[in-house]
């Protein structure tokens, strides 16, 4: 997969955030790229605008006549008609994670893992390296605002890599990292792992793949085999965070590392983002970047779309969008918003993602969603799953201890919000709730 210039590569699930970055990468290498996805989205429209052919119907006759290789995401159904046709043609199906793993072999690679925080940290580290003059290619699990893309392309074929290391389906075990980051290991993807022990085992297998240093948050059950560098609030950490302050949504804090104190200003709220920035700081330092250059780069970091993404903020109304879909992510996001806007009533629209995740964390979801002042629940986004008996948004809503709470259909959402005109609106979820972001933003701007 590293030398595919001129090849025709077909993507099943091309609209996924990781898949689209790979498609863009190979397109830039001179490959002919085409793909299928279930529904159009801003990502697929962007790919089409870049000259990549995308279709949205599962019809074998829409496959390109000539295909050299096929890359797929495990999120696509296995019973697709197109898969049957691809196999009939005798073509091999390569997982996205395997293709990304091949790209990392033989090249210096920073890999950023964690059940939460990896996308923002990947974007931060990529921005730091680029702003500091490094030639770098980065695969990011979100649209980084500094690049307006999920892919940063380096100039040379052997430039350094920054990759987001996804634990879903044990994808990150295909990577060959030199320096890795592990931000968090909270129970998630239990439909894949079964229990937290197997999840932890997988993260430790990822750490064992790392050739040089493993940067991880204090307290995580990481077996570092002497390669570990820890960060956190404890003075015994290798990277020690202190003096955290928030002013008008801007974070100020110090990082103590190698007997030096570096003052950091980060133009985004949230203690979790101080941790993300510290992990990126340590990785950049190990990559040879001076502290002063890192500090300067973080000042101009613009964040990631759908990660504490402030879309509207004026004297009367504020609208924030976030990808949070796990209780710990919801907690971090709402805590940061409460800290930045302490006097405003928070109206939260949340779309649960996956029946299994809703089932596995029902009590935790109920507790963290109650941190809002008002909750509007959409139906569960099923993604790759079939419904589970007794698991629904109504079941979850019953457990949330809030006076102001309701269920809303997607068809009614814009009308309801238009009538309510909430002073601080937050949308959250990893499903198709992102389709409402631009309509809501445009509507709120007219109030």
Rounded Cα gap, residues 435 and 234, in angstroms: 41
Each residue of 9-39: b (16+ CB within 10 Å) or e? bbbbbbbbbbbbbbbbbbbebebbbbbbbee
pTM of the full predicted structure?
A: 0.86
- Look at residue 190 in the predicted model and tell me its pLDDT: 65
Span 104-138, pLDDT tens digits: 999 999 999 998 899 999 999 999 999 999 999 99
> How many CA atoms within 13 Å lie on the side-chain side of 118?
26
Residue 38 has pLDDT above 60, yes or no: yes
Class of the 105-299 domain? alpha beta
Query: Tokens 């445009």 sit at which residue?
Result: 442
Q: Assign 290 to helix, strand or coil.
A: coil
- Look at residue 283 in the predicted model and tell me its pLDDT: 98
Instruction: Return mean pLDDT, the chain.
Output: 94
Span 186-217, pLDDT tens digits: 876 666 777 889 999 999 999 999 999 999 99
Q: Domain residues of the chain, as ranges?
A: 8-95, 105-299, 309-445
Rounded Cα gap, residues 246 and 214, in angstroms: 29
305 contact partners, CB below 8 Å, separation of at least 6: 142, 143, 144, 145, 321
User: For domain 8-95, is the CATH number 3.40.50.300?
Assistant: no
Query: Tokens 């809002």 sit at which residue?
Result: 372
User: For domain 309-445, is the CATH number 3.40.50.10190?
Assistant: no
Residue 1 has pLDDT above 70, yes or no: no
Query: Tokens 């099943």 sit at which residue?
Result: 12
Query: Tokens 């970047």 sit at which residue?
Result: 289
Span 296-354, pLDDT tens digits: 999 999 999 988 889 999 999 999 999 999 999 999 899 999 988 999 999 999 999 99
């Amino acid at each position: 997969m590293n030398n595919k210039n001129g090849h025709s590569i077909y993507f099943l699930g091309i609209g996924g955030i990781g898949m689209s970055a790979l498609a863009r990468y190979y397109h830039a290498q001179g490959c002919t790229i085409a793909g299928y996805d279930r529904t159009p989205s801003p990502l697929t429209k962007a790919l089409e605008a870049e000259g990549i052919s995308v279709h949205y119907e599962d019809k074998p006759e829409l496959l390109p006549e000539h295909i050299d290789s096929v890359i797929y995401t495990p999120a696509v159904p296995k019973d697709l008609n197109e898969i049957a046709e691809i196999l009939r043609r005798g073509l091999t199906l390569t997982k996205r994670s395997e293709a990304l793993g091949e790209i990392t072999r033989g090249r210096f690679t920073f890999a950023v893992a964690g059940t939460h925080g990896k996308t923002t940290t990947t974007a931060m580290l990529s921005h730091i390296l680029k702003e500091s003059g490094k030639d770098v290619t980065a695969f990011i699990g979100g649209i980084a605002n500094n690049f307006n893309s999920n892919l940063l392309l380096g100039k040379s074929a052997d430039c350094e890599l920054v990759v987001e290391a996804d634990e879903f389906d044990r994808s990150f075990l295909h990577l060959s990292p030199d320096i890795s980051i592990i931000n968090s290991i909270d129970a998630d993807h239990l439909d894949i792992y079964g229990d937290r022990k197997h999840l932890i085992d997988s993260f430790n297998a990822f750490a064992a793949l790392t050739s040089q240093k493993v940067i991880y948050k204090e307290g995580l059950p990481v077996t570092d085999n002497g390669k570990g560098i820890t960060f956190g609030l404890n003075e015994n950490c290798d990277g020690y965070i202190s003096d955290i302050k928030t002013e008008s949504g801007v974070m100020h804090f110090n990082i103590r590392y190698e007997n030096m104190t570096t003052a950091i200003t980060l133009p985004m709220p949230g203690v979790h983002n101080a941790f993300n920035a510290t992990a990126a700081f340590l990785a950049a330092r190990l990559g040879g970047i001076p502290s002063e250059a890192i500090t300067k780069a973080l000042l101009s970091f613009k964040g990631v779309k759908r990660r504490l993404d402030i879309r509207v903020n004026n004297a009367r109304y504020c609208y924030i969008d976030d990808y949070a879909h796990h209780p710990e992510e919801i907690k971090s996001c709402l805590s940061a918003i409460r800290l930045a806007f302490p006097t405003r009533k928070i109206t939260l629209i949340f779309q649960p993602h996956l029946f299994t995740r809703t089932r596995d964390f029902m009590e935790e979801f109920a507790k963290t969603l109650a941190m809002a002042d008002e909750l509007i629940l959409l139906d569960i986004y099923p993604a790759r799953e079939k419904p589970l008996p007794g698991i629904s948004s109504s079941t979850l809503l019953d457990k949330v201890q809030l006076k102001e709470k309701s269920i809303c259909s997607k068809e009614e959402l814009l009308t309801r919000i238009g009538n309510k005109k909430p002073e601080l609106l937050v949308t959250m979820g990893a499903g198709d709730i992102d389709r409402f972001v631009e309509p809501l933003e445009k509507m709120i701007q007219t109030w």
